[in-house]
Amino acid sequence: MQFFVDTADVTEIRELDALGLVDGVTTNPSLILKSGRDIMEVTKEICGIVDGPVSAEVTALDYDGMIREAAVLAKIAGNVCIKLPLTLEGLKACKALTSDGHMVNVTLCFSANQALLAAKAGATFISPFIGRIDDMGTDGMELIGEIRTIYDNYGFSTKILAASIRTVIHVKQSALIGADVATIPPGTLRALVKHPLTDKGLEAFLNDWAKTGQSIA
């Protein structure tokens, strides 16, 4: 499974990239607002940090507007992935952009039928929003499983990008079901390494090592 970090905070991205944990980045208008920076400036900086796809989202709702904005965003760097909403206009733009060789991330997916349409439109990534589905009292993981089955049934190349991840359990379940990518907030990504038995074992090892009176370096 690939890990994309879901943030526009370049400090967080640099730190996680240095650990070798970042395969790409996803941003959206809310994350750009949180960063407090210009979308063009911060997206260019992010693209210079990571080699993988960096999703940058259009804000237009009509086809012509999406295509115009996508042209601007695509000029930022070669690894920009255009992020489009899962609407009929968005699917039309997806088909046009992927046919022209651009990476496209179709976002705000909440049903298997929507994911099927995105794959038929040639989407590079489909982003089902697990956490928001859970918030409504439905199991978001069921959607990941349904999409995985449909894509495998027909050999679609669209990658399942598990989004709106809230917990480390979401990451594990997405990996077990077979999502290709998880886009994860920095804090959740760091939390994947944590386990109380790891801390306890390390403490015991260090205590015993101290008793030997030895030094490696």
pLDDT tens sequence across 104-113: 999 999 999 9
Assigned domain for 204 exists: yes
Q: What pLDDT does residue 75 have?
A: 97
What pTM value is reported for the model? 0.94
In terms of residue numbers, what domain contains 38?
A: 2-212
Number of domains present in the structure of the chain: 1
- Express each pLDDT in 56-77 by its tens digit: 999 999 999 999 999 999 999 9
Q: Is residue 217 part of a domain?
A: no
194 in catalytic set: no
**Mean of pLDDT values over 181-197:** 97
Q: What is the structure's pLDDT at 217?
A: 85
Q: Please tell me which residue in 34, 44, 83, 159 is annotated as part of the active site.
A: 83
41 falls within a domain: yes
CATH number at residue 149: 3.20.20.70
pLDDT tens, 129-173?
Answer: 999 999 999 999 999 999 999 999 999 999 999 999 999 999 999
3-state secondary structure the chain: CEEEEECCCHHHHHHHHHCCCCCEEECCHHHHHHHCCCHHHHHHHHHHHCCCCEEEECCCCCHHHHHHHHHHHHCCCCCEEEEEECCHHHHHHHHHHHHCCCEEEEEEECCHHHHHHHHHCCCCEEEEEHHHHHHCCCCHHHHHHHHHHHHHHHCCCCEEEEECCCCHHHHHHHHHHCCCEEEECHHHHHHCCCCHHHHHHHHHHHHHHHHHCCCCC
pLDDT class for 183, splitting at 50, 70, 90? very high
